[in-house]
Structure 1
Amino acid sequence: MRILLTGGTGLIGRQLCRHWSSQGHHLTVWSRSPEKVAGICGPQVRGIARLEDLGQEPLDAIINLAGAPIGDRLWTHKRKALLWSSRITLTETLLAWLESREQKPEVLISGSAVGWYGDGGERELSEDSPPVIDDFASQLCIAWEETAQRAEAMGIRVVLVRTGLVVSAEGGFLSRLLLPFKLGLGGPIGNGRQWMPWIHIKDQIGAIDFLLQRIDASGPYNACAPQPVRNREFAKTLGSVLHRPAFMPLPTLVLKVALGEMSLLLLGGQKAVPARLLEAGYTFQFTDLRAALDDVSSRL
């Protein structure tokens, strides 16, 4: 299979490249630094700086994961503009390029996040649940999905992957929690009752591969384990895995003052469940948080 990836050097993208390279697929990554792609993603993966560099080579699938990290910096007006352009504007560029091609791929798998729902409170959120459009992260995800869905007008199957918090030893949110927890300064955020939908990196890759192979898969899928946990339970479990205490709370007021609008990412949550993945027959490797954290703990 010939696959084009955006965001191919990110946490999920580079794991997909390794997984699919081992299966013999032909992979190309659209990147601002194409010379670094082979070193990051594997020697068989080609990097290109411009979509036009592909010429009229046939494509079977596009995996669209590009996007600046949403939680790395304060949401200034400049940062919000970058977050928007790195997702929506890039996807629009991708669609315009697809329009110009005679041969179209069969499927576009496009990234999203459980933040699409907004702060869901205590509601259980399946893919049929409506969003609560009350924050920037939700608006960003909604616009990203709506843009990607325009590919359906070209006869392309569109799959939207609403990813939860990815449990991995190679980056992501765990890398930011590691230092305070190892210093014994970890603990719940705010009141600790907010829901955290998580997914092990192996299931994230497995789910995307599963959706790529299923010709009847389309629309949104929650990529998160069947058992979300509250923030307080997550902190306690991570502390236990690292053999460190986890009782130092991070007060709500401190977060709001320090992070402003971005504090909603930490103080809100989603009790998201992977209803459509389970209905389609995907079998999760990790459904228990302790087992997932144990699996990556030796590499943290």
Structure 2
Amino acid sequence: MGDMTIVVTGSSGLLGSALIRALTAEGRQVRRLVRHEPAAPDEAFWNPGKGILDPAALEHADAVVHLAGAGIGDRRWTASYKRTVLESRTRGTATLAAALAGMGAPPRVLLSGSAVGFYGDTKDRSVDEHDRQGAGFLADVVAQWEGATARAADAGVRVVRLRSGVVLSRKGGALAKVLPIFRMGMGAPLGSGRQYFSWISLNDWVAAVLFLLQNEEISGPVNVTSPEPVTNAEYTKAIGRAMRRPTLPIPTPGFALRLALGEFADEGLLVGQRVLPRVLQDAGYHFIEPDLPTALKSALND
């Protein structure tokens, strides 16, 4: 990667902060796009909601990694919050893509956040990057989110769309939310427990992004997921074993999840997604923590 300068959005989140640690450990220069008044030399202002980004913030950069967006499961899906989920992704991505397209010498690559929600409910059918968009709100959000990168791609920037699975870390995201329940010995499968769950360890997510920054042959959608998706029931048992805590044999019924969480229950928890990282594997990426027990041990000890 040489002395690459990399611009990162969403730098304060779980993924952004882990990526920046890895980049700085390798001696890379990092410039963070922030929505507040810049308070450090490595910060530059942008307002993705209003389409404000000074192209100077991207000058002399080799790559952009775009991770900003409102949390999918952070709040109940009201009509207003669904609009926030969509617009926080599409507006920021379109702002970046337009800025890149308007530069004489733009960064060579844009790695833009995306998600396996693109595939909708795949039941127990395996899918990879060749498969079409599924149905549902999240699939529509992801399609529009990815579509917002088009101006950058049309301008000759190599665009990689990071279709990430659930990233496992005790410091944030889906795993962190359920750990208190499992500590009490109350962890249980959700719904039927047979729905597939596509995940990736935080270490592999970061390593895969570094791999994609360097691999100039790869563009388009890339599934950033483990090669070993598991069912929700297997995931539940694995967390219990990793924490040495019992889990409940009786699943939490779907109707209870819908009452508590509304529409998010159907698309975020009860949906099955058996997603395989075909592009990464074909390009020769070697997973650090490909199986769930190893990944959970790492996540809980991090």
Question: What is the TM-score when the length of structure 1 is the normalising length?
Answer: 0.93
Name the amino acid aligned to 1:255. L
Q: Which residue is 1:294 aligned to?
A: 297
Q: Give the SS at the match of 2:112.
A: strand
Deviation string for 1:9-37 (max 9, x for gaps)? 1111111111111112111111123557x
Query: Matches of 2:269 and 2:148 in 1, distance apart?
Result: 26
1:90 to 89, 92, 95: 92
- Pick one of 84, 105, 119 that aligns with 2:107: 105
Report what 1:41 is aligned to: none
- Aligned-residue offset at 1:115: 0.7
2:54 counterpart SS class: helix
SS in 2 for 1:145: helix
Structure-2 separation of matches of 1:246 and 1:25: 43
Q: Which runs of 5+ in 1 are unaligned?
A: 39-44
Give the aligned partner of residue 138 of structure 1: 139
1:153 equivalent in structure 2 = 154
Identity of aligned residues (%): 40
Query: Which residue of the partner structure matches residue 75 of structure 1?
Result: 77
- 1:186 and 1:249 in contact (8 A); partners too: no
CA distance in 2, matches of 1:6, 1:242: 33
After superposition, what is the alpha-carbon deviation per residue over 1:31-89, rounded to whole angstroms, capped at 9, x for unaligned?
A: 123557x6xxxxxx712223327357312111111111001111111101111121001
CA shift, 1:297, in A, is 2.0
2:5 is aligned with 1:2: yes
Q: Tell me the equivalent position of 1:217.
A: 218
Letter in 2 for 1:192: G
Q: Alpha-carbon deviations, 1:165-184, whole Å to 9, x = none?
A: 11112211111001111111
1:204 Cα deviation from its structure 2 partner: 0.2
Runs of 4+ deviating beyond 4 Å? none
**Which residue matches 2:260?**
258
Counterpart Cα distance in 2 of 1:155 and 1:291? 39
For 2:58 and 2:195, locate their aligned partners in 1 and report how far apart those are by CA, in whole Å.
48
Q: Tell me which residue corresponds to 1:47.
A: 43
**Amino acid in the other structure paired with 1:167:** L
Q: Within the alignment, does 1:126 sit opposite 2:128 as a pair? A: yes
State the secondary structure of the residue aligned to 1:166: strand
Within a 5 Å distance, the mapping from 1:51-66 to structure 2 comes to 51-52=53-54, 54=56, 57-66=59-68
Aligned-partner SS, 1:158: strand
Give, in angstroms, the shift of residue 258 of structure 1. Answer: 2.1
For residue 236 of structure 1, what is the amino acid of its counterpart? K
Q: Which whole-Å CA distance do the structure 2 matches of 1:11 and 1:34 have between them? A: 21
Contact 1:56 1:103 in 2 (8 A): no
The separation in 1 between residues aligned to 2:57 and 2:214, in whole angstroms, is 25
CA-to-partner distance for each residue in 1:69-118, whole Å, 9 max, x for gaps? 00111111110111112100111111222233222110111111111100
Instruction: Select 1:276's aligned residue among 276, 279, 288.
Output: 279
Q: Which residue of 2 aligns with 1:19?
A: 22
Asked whether the equivalents of residues 208 and 224 of structure 2 are also in contact (C-alpha less than 8 Å), the reply is yes
* Aligned AA (1:13): G
Whether 1:204 and 2:213 are equivalent positions in the alignment is no
**Shift of residue 221, structure 1, vs aligned partner:** 0.9
Q: Report the residue type matching 2:91 in the other structure.
A: T
Contact 1:158-1:219 within 8 A present in 2 as well: yes
Gaps of 5+ in 2: 47-52
Report if the CA contact (8 A) 1:163-1:223 is conserved: yes
Q: Name the residue aligned to 2:232.
A: 231
- Structure-2-length-normalised TM-score: 0.92
Shift in Å, 1:185: 1.0
